[in-house]
Structure 1
Amino acid sequence: MMSARASRLASSTTGRGHHASAQDRRATTPCRFFQTGSCTKGEACPYSHSLLNRSVVASQEDEPKRDDFTRTIDGAFVQFEAGARVSKIRLPSDFSAVRISGLPLNTSEKSVRDMFAERGLHVSVDDVHMLQMEGSCGASVRSDDVLFSKKTCAIIQPGFTWEGARIYATPIAAPMPSGHNARRVDCKKVHISWHKAVRNVWMNFASGEVAQRVSDLFSKGAYRILNQKVTAGAATEARPAFQSWSPSKNRESWTVMLTEVPATAERSDIMDAITQEKNRPRYIEVGLPTYSADAGQATTIIRSLLTNVGPLEYFEVMLETNARRVKATARFLDEEDARRAVEQLDKKELPFHPKARLTVQMVYSAKFKTGTNIYDAVCPKILPQQKIWKNQNITFRAYNSTDPLRRFRLLKIEGESANDVVVAKADLESILAGVVAKENGITLWDSSLKANGKLYQAIKKLEKECSVVILRDKLKSELRLFGAQDCCEVAQLRLAELIRVESLSTSTRAIELDPHKFFWACHGGFRKIATRLGPEKASFDIISTPKKIVISGPLEDYDVALAIIEGREQVAEPVELLEPGEAAQECSVCWTEADTPIKTACGHVYCLECFERSCIVGDVTTAAFAVLCHGNKGNCRSVIGVEDLQEHLSSAVLEDVLERSFSSHIKRNPNEFRHCPTPDCGYIYRVTSDSRIQNCPNCLRPTCSACHEPHVGMSCAEHHYLMSEGYQEFRKLKEDLGIKDCPMCKTPMEKISGCNHMTCAVCNCHICWVCLKTFPSSDQVYDHMAELHGGLYDVAEVPM
């Protein structure tokens, strides 16, 4: 008779055709709960988690995030809207937060929001972050109402009950908004790892030779348990391990002990690992796991340790089933929470396994969005750098383009050393910036490159011949080369020769257009010039102020264009089936065939370069910086949506646009925000009507938010009194020199000649020089001067 234990063992070895092993069972169907993050059993789940590796289930950190257009600029949290306009500016001092504890289990962000709304406190669901606590829930709630924490604590006092639970509110430091991290080093993420539960296994063999052979196969990794390599000890001779067997049938006994065996492994899994029948053991004894918490429970405990430090944006466990440690990634909302988590939790004993330690490491990363053509060109320079980064444990990833035309690639560098990541970021930025084409230290440029003429077409041909990318920057009047070092050197020599030859035969001249001539140009005039001279010699610049027609060619072509504009030369009306800017591939800015065409949501086509330039320049005729469409002869003026900005601009250009918009907003609103007076500090502070001394969080300089002076320990009046003598002398000197301060931003101005209408070069407000009254437009200034001051000029300056 075979014992019950032996019977169970036999069924696991001889019944393989009838009973699926644990490994076979896992390979049947993926667990849908695991895919959604709601499975609590982890790898102990009887469905296939091992099938869901990182190549199948996208990691949250690797998925390109939609830009929320929030930036941290000059110490402020800035929210942008359509047209890259500033919609909201918040400072760290504007926020307050509370932590709510004792909430009922399964409380959601929405129910917490509703609880606050019922009591007259309004918060967004996005500002509620749930915390996992033992036997209950908690929440971190943030608001940009600076009195929010005081109001909350006044309502939720000790003994306050909600949904049958007694809850408590505690003021905490407000976690800052999680802005986009393009071109900046982000350090809100941490890597976490801990030992998986393992167990020891003893295998009994009748032959020492077989036992040693099996030990060697496990040690080499030829035999794996649940696809994981384990540690095998040497075969040792031992007394029979299983007393239920007759000693006469077990005259010789050899044992091999396996360690680091996954805790989820069963006897059948060990048998499945030994693929050859002749190597199978007679008996298997499975030890207890190192800890009893299953994978799901352990993950929940680790996550709760992190959320007790601060709210998380996400928490993700890596699906590496053959590793000996569980690896996870978490991203905090606040950088300080990430640092605190490393300080408090790294090397901490695991709650479910006191003999093991938790590892928590800070992760530093930077992302870039660059043109696909540029990335392909500079790959030869990135590859050797990538080897250096790998030796420094810095990872580099280039994600596939997500836009249909595959114009851009998202790049990311990441590592656990802040200094190494900063250096790697600078190296990658330098590569992606390309090199400015020069000859003998002088930048190579020709004025004809302002248009898409013969020289520009020759350069595009040169690109293909030299296997480089050449970008034209009209704003800076320079050419940038991207490619392998030797290819760029050859291209630079040939560029110099092309420009040298071109400069001898042609030049570019701009014809500025007043409103009347601009109207004429939009309604057929420019077409007449392009038809007469050739489309490669004439281009339309409707971004600049004033508008221009650019002529690339000899002086004779310029004279012909002037004659047509002034009516001295008649040209037949061109045949035009489509309106300018409406042709399928005609740029709305330069009115020539679009080079690398893109189309905006309002349906107008641009050269990619013209679109970038129009975004950077923005619209200066409105009260605030805005990116508007120039289609339909400049009459479209639709606000360019954030989707178009995100889709068509590289990260470098997009950040420039947003920073220009922010800078313009601060200059135009000096009564709301000012820059710190410390040179090169750059941080801003909020202007107040009452005197408040505040220390700059960057340079710590004290400044009064009302009068903008550092008068610590005294009122504004006292400070002005002490400064009055010197101030009066300085004011008298400015009066003698005819210098006045802008009423809005206090910038000194001097009037040399002309009428009494002044425009501040800093904040762009319109000023009457006589009485210093300000107006939103120039027309109102002229009406004011004519009505109150009798004209536009001083009496002594009236032109004869």
Structure 2
Amino acid sequence: MATASTPCIFFQQGRYPRSQVLCKFNLEGICKHGTKCPYRHEPSDSSSASSSSTKVSPLHDNDTFVRVFRGALVRYGDGACITSLSLPSEYSSVRLDGLPADTVVSDIVTILENLGHDVDVDGLRIVTTPQSSLCSAYISTPDLDFSKTLSSSLIDSPYCHMKAVPVPPRLPSWASTRRARCNKLNVRWAKPCSECRVFFSTKAAALRVSGKFNFGKYTIFDTRIGCDEPREIVRASITADYDTPLLVGIRQGVASGNAIIAAINKLLRDVGPIDLITEPYEHKRGYLTVSAQFKQDCDAQKAARMIEKKSYDLPYDINLTAKLIYTSTFKTSKEVYRHVQQPLEDCLEEFDAPRINVTSRETGTVLSIDSWSSEEVAKCANAVEDILAGSVIEGKDGQPFWAPQLASNGPASKLLKEIQQRHGVLLLPNRSKREVRYFGDTLKRLEVQDDVVQSLTEDAERRHTIDIDDPGFSWLCKVGLNLIKNVVGDKVVSLNVTSNPKKLIITGSDEEYCEILALLEIGNISFPVKEAISEESCSICLTPADDPVVLGCSHAYCADCFKGLCRNGTAQADVNITCTGAEDKCKNAIPLREIQAHTDSSTFEQLLESSFSTYISRRPDQFHYCPTPDCGYIYRPANNSASSLWHMCTKCLQRICRSCHANHDGQRCEDYRAHQAFEAYKHENRSNVKDCPKCHTTVEKIDGCNHIVCGGCKIHLCWVCLQTFDESPRCYAHMREAHGSIGIDDEDEDEGDEDIG
């Protein structure tokens, strides 16, 4: 391709394409380039619409200093201090459809203000569709009811042609998109059938047979049947001759299947809003099941407790059972899923895991795991999350490998693509965390890692960068760049105009590097060298700086001293790394970009995580760690404005009470505490307190013999071995035969006297 003979005139005239893009740092008020910034700045005194747009936080994907720790989305500012911390469960996200294709951020803010909504949203992005006159806006805000209120406010407004669609909260593309729900409920009941009435000669015989059905001794088609008076039995199922009935009468069912289904649907909808109820599914043994998907998790859990406690009222005499279904979902790119599909299958075959449902969408691939066991779903989801995250390419020192040239889409990025095509794997550089993630066959990982480290290290050794001041940059644009390219070639030299200061990048041999240095002398280019600042004193050890680090405030540090300053930034207060220059009088918070530039990735990430841990530990009234062992996710305790007293942890899927911070499965806190106190009393007095083996009623033996009558089911118990008997004489006979006595010294005591617990 021919090289232009003159510098880009559009760049010289300020009409470089980047000048049409809003500077995200200016939106935050932290852009240091001012009028020299190549990106567009909104004037601070412009129209109200323009000024309103500065209230919009930058997009998560473009924000370098956003991290996800313990399930929380954390945003950092200068000094590594935390500027905001939020939980995905606290957010409501909406996709606003029907916007004109030329809509900008300020237009969205104006629309929201006109509809009476808070415009200080957490995130906002506009998505356009090619060859369409409309676009959509994604809006996230910490108002859980935002999607409902926005939809209502659109009605009878000038924006009634727009539509608000609830969507999952948006996280950074490199963060886990794991979500957990418990809003599905499977309800089961026996299929309506004919009714059997069985007649016996005596009431005792009828009760005896009824009890045998109820306790599972008699079954029909291997299915346990419950009898009340008794009912739902047939002659062939009664195997004992002395239980044979005199007559078996059959009466048709009192309600049709459709009527029962309608009654169950109404019962569930009365609990809370439902998105979907499936058609009944018939099992082989005459049972029917419907699956209801509630809008809110709490409504599904409320319905499950109601059915479990039999506290529902149906016009028909049917017995309902219910199971909650736990769901974990993940969203990933189609490219990532294609490379981890086989590792996923191999991993899940190692343990009895639920089936993973895969849904392909335009925006990516969604994986979902469903099961009635929260422990099973959590175990499977943890394995899936690890695989979807990929593995980190490590350098020769065992630390995450990173090459500075990967920070831009240059030759190094092309080299990385060549490596992944050569091995048939996927390599994704994470510029925010300065690491490269590997996706693909685990057997190839070490081979690919060696290839990446060797190739990019050699590439780095061929690269030289020279800082260019403003006069030198002007000379390069006018004459110098073309002069250098004519000597060493187009592919050897390039300019990085977005850095501060601007840099001349040389990718070539040492001979070519020396040639370029000679050419720069022709233009009288001056560029800083390390020797020029080596005599600066370190602001910590007060000796000449070794491998000096010079901050924007002009204070210098030894490289090791600066790393120590960052590592020791955690104290009793929130982390805030400040400059100690000018005899500790500077006190300026060190910009995070400078901290990242002068520390290795491991030190920088440890600093951010330490800042997070300190922030959480200093706010026990605002955050709690999940009490489930080895979980560690955080949640907010209950307060007066809490919409729910229950929190379901995204990782372990356990339901935690936000008031007493225990998992007591729907019980009230006072009932749970009373139960815990009672269990502690039982443990302390376990020799005198036992549970009935039949009905599990707790029985306490104060004195008397070892014959006990349960206060719940009235069964006769041997206190020593808890064997049960229908009559007291048999119990006394057992105690003498098996244990040698009835448990008191005077064995001649009247056996008719019974100790009742």
Task: Tell whether the structures are fold-level matches, with TM greater than 0.5.
Answer: no
The interval holding the TM-score normalised by the smaller chain is: 0.3 to 0.5
TM-score (norm 2): 0.39
TM-score (norm 1): 0.37
